[in-house]
Structure 1
Amino acid sequence: MPSSLPVRRLLDLDFADLPLQGMLALLAKRPAEAPFGYIVTPNADHLVRLSRDPALRPLYDEAMLRLLDSRVVARIAGLLGLDAPAVVPGSDLTAALIASLPPDEKVTVLGLPPTALEQLASRTGLRRIAHHNPPMGFDRDPAAFEAAVRFIEENPARYSFLAVGSPRQERVAQAVAARGRGRGVGLCIGASLLFLTGEERRAPGLVQRAGMEWAWRMLQDPKRLARRYLVDSPAIIALLRREARQRKG
């Protein structure tokens, strides 16, 4: 990535400060055969988890790019007098990148059950998808984790979509980058592909722009997401307030 890339620092992370279209143009210029680099898209949940577990920091520090995934975080930061970077949700980036690809472009996907993969191919027209869906808990099984890393290395593509949840996907991406055998760009994008397959419904644009996509997602799957959004993620407010005080002091 160019040294002239604009960045903004927030919560001890340097975020790329480019809107979606600027990011697409930047990635399009990167050669497909370039050494593997990965993109992380932290949202409020990721940032809170990172503050509680510093051992996760290298996963973000070693990323090629960090993109702020949360309009809520950006708005709270602004209200507190902090300059937030441009918001580029991973789901928006994923949809735009895939829409820009010709049908015969090779892509690599880590995650997704076979039925969802079929839907992805059907809805996007992509014909060359290399796919590996690691087993549950693969990040705690050295052999399964190694298989996931090797799959990315052995199936190089301009774009590899890592859709196995955070921080598992970031750990795989970090390992691929550290070994130096992979090529292209790895995108740690969580559930973004599920929106394209129709397996999950994304919030309408108006809800997204209002910063309420988190509430929409929680209502779709309250058993899994209620604690994340109602108990864990609100701690982001305290983190941003502390940063605002430190900068003023």
Structure 2
Amino acid sequence: MTTTEFPPAIDFLGLSITPVDVNQTAEAVAGRDPALPLVYVVTPNAQHVVALDQGDRNFARVHAHAWLVTCDSQILRLLGKLLFGLNLPLAAGSDLTALLLRRYIRPDDAITVIGGDEKLFAELRAQYGLTRIAHHEPPMGLVSNPAAIEAAARFIIANPARYVFIACGCPQSEMVALRAIELGGAVGVALCIGGSLHFATGLIPRAPAWMRRLALESLHRLMLNPRRHAKRVFKQSLPVVWIAVKARLGLKSHAPAALPPAEGGR
């Protein structure tokens, strides 16, 4: 699959989702010429929709300039199906990361990782045989630290790689990727994938397959770590149901805000 073969995007709750599944997404990422200018993949979930609905300009800007925006959420798929008759393919960041590591990434491929710690990289080397990992660990609070975003973006430029995993949470990961594009000189595909590398190595257990199929993965994470995930589930994600209902009733428009184009090669 090449960039010209992507099916038309589907506008849904403020997102412009490319309707490709995880296998198609992995094939597109792995098949892209690694010498081409950097692009990035965003895998939004309910949290993204809520942030966009609340007018978060960081989320709006990074989504507007993504190469691929794929559906990460069974909840979004369910709402799309029940309320709008949409059939959104699933290409969750955790599934995409695991598939790339298992099937496409070779031990000698250059990998750049923003975020994570040495325990994670030890597991990546042990489980997947990766030998060329360049690692940058930015500070906490990245979203309000332009200097740290700049440093992470310049690290990507200074360490060319076919695959760039940015594990800083959203929208920080996307902001780093977009800044690297704006600066120019970066190559490859950046994957804004949250904690997916930890899931792929087993450092954090994923929900069982049946829970994922029933859109209960957030519940599983809440059970594992209530303090960490309560805010994300109840405040940052759950309002997506009401947002979808309002959209179905025509009470609110979710057209993406018009934003200036990013600099650099897309």
CA distance in 1, matches of 2:116, 2:193: 12
CA distance in 2, matches of 1:97, 1:47: 26
Task: Say which SS state the counterpart of residue 47 (structure 1) adopts.
Answer: helix
Q: Verify the 8 A CA contact 1:39 1:188 in the aligned structure 2.
A: yes
Structure 1 position 143 matched with structure 2 position 147: yes
Task: Say which SS state the counterpart of residue 246 (structure 1) adopts.
Answer: coil
- Corresponding residue for residue 83 of structure 1: 86
Q: Aligned residues, how many?
A: 248
- Corresponding residue for residue 25 of structure 2: 23
Q: Verify the 8 A CA contact 2:114 2:135 in the aligned structure 1.
A: yes
Q: Verify the 8 A CA contact 2:167 2:192 in the aligned structure 1.
A: yes
> What's the offset of the Cα at 1:98?
1.4
> What's the offset of the Cα at 1:168?
0.9
Note the residue ranges of structure 2 that are not aligned, 5 or more in a row: 254-266
CA distance in 2, matches of 1:78, 1:108: 37
CA distance in 1, matches of 2:6, 2:217: 28
Q: Give the alignment partner of residue 116 of structure 2, picking from 109, 112, 117.
A: 112
> What's the offset of the Cα at 1:246?
2.8
After superposing the two structures, state which structure 1 stretch, 181-190 or 197-206, moved more: 197-206
Q: Verify the 8 A CA contact 2:149 2:179 in the aligned structure 1.
A: no
CA distance in 2, matches of 1:26, 1:143: 32
CA distance in 1, matches of 2:231, 2:14: 25
Cα RMSD, aligned residues only: 1.8
TM-score by length of 2: 0.88
Q: Verify the 8 A CA contact 1:38 1:177 in the aligned structure 2.
A: no
CA distance in 2, matches of 1:72, 1:236: 9
Letter in 1 for 2:167: A
CA distance in 2, matches of 1:142, 1:66: 24
Q: Verify the 8 A CA contact 1:10 1:84 in the aligned structure 2.
A: no
Letter in 2 for 1:91: S
After superposing the two structures, state which structure 1 stretch, 64-73 or 2-11, moved more: 2-11
> What's the offset of the Cα at 1:84?
4.4
Letter in 1 for 2:3: P
Residue 144 and residue 230 in structure 1: after superposition, are their counterparts in 2 closer, same or farther (change >3 A)? Answer: closer
Q: Give the alignment partner of residue 230 of structure 1, picking from 231, 234, 247.
A: 234
Note the residue ranges of structure 1 that are not aligned, 5 or more in a row: none
User: Where does structure 1 differ by over 4 angstroms across 4 or more consecutive aligned residues?
Assistant: none
Letter in 2 for 1:80: L
CA distance in 2, matches of 1:214, 1:70: 10
Structure 2 matches for 1:55-74, cutoff 5 A?
Answer: 55-56=57-58, 57-74=60-77
After superposing the two structures, state which structure 1 stretch, 77-86 or 168-177, moved more: 77-86
> What's the offset of the Cα at 1:18?
1.1
Task: Say which SS state the counterpart of residue 228 (structure 2) adopts.
Answer: helix
- Corresponding residue for residue 50 of structure 1: 52
> What's the offset of the Cα at 1:229?
1.0
TM-score by length of 1: 0.93
Q: Verify the 8 A CA contact 2:110 2:162 in the aligned structure 1.
A: yes
Deviation sequence 1:126-153 (CA, Å, 0-9, x none):
1111111112224433432221111111
Q: Verify the 8 A CA contact 2:40 2:68 in the aligned structure 1.
A: yes
CA distance in 1, matches of 2:245, 2:145: 39
CA distance in 2, matches of 1:121, 1:103: 9
Structure 1 position 97 matched with structure 2 position 108: no
CA distance in 2, matches of 1:87, 1:213: 14
